[in-house]
Structure 1
Amino acid sequence: MGGDSDPFPVSVSSLHFPSKEQTISQTLSSLRRSALSITNRLQSIESDANFVREVADYYDLPLVANERCGSWYIPPEAKAGSAYFKSTDGHTGQWDFSFRRLNLQILPISRKHGG
């Protein structure tokens, strides 16, 4: 076979990997899609729930579920109460006060457990 090109790669740099030609944007999009899979989401919830349980057990704390997004982290038999917090509650510059989210039902639970 006469010619300048070798039919087989002779170095790593001469190898062609189609995935190497993805842009950063395509790679990030692919990662985002995989992170949104049902399997990944369920594994994340399970991992978070285990962490919550370990911390509560270690410090002997009651578990209060945020009904906006967290009740599934706590087994019903371990749930001491419910609250309703929004992600912006308490953030700097967020001065609106919501009477809907007073969460006064937390006071007796806090008092009973030292704080």
Structure 2
Amino acid sequence: MPKYHDDVDAVLRALADPTRRAVVERLAKSPAVVSELAEPFAMALPSLMQHLRILEDAGVVDSEKHGRIRTVTLRPGALDVLHLWLGEQRTPAENQADRLGIHLALTTPKEN
């Protein structure tokens, strides 16, 4: 088993919750302060902070506090372990079909 499986497990556990997935989707657009992240959710701020802590512990987000304002950012490359793991799960038939598609795209004459 590759060394990064613990990282995959942590990221998958963190993303298992719909609230945390929504936070990640929001942060993919730009960093945000906690109060902005809390707006669409009907939960107390301490509950959202718990979600953010789980994402941070899994290495998905980073947070920085300036005075009383905490800004949260999506950690660059944080989801790369999932991409790598998912790529390893592809069947040989899927890989062969991909290679065939590339070959056909390169060898088929383009229509004008």
- Tell me if both proteins adopt one fold, taking TM over 0.5 as the criterion: no
Larger radius of gyration: 1
Higher relative contact order (CA 8 A, sep 6+): 2
Where is the helix percentage greater, Structure 1 or Structure 2? 2
Where is the strand percentage greater, Structure 1 or Structure 2? 2
Scaled by the length of structure 2, the TM-score of the pair is 0.29
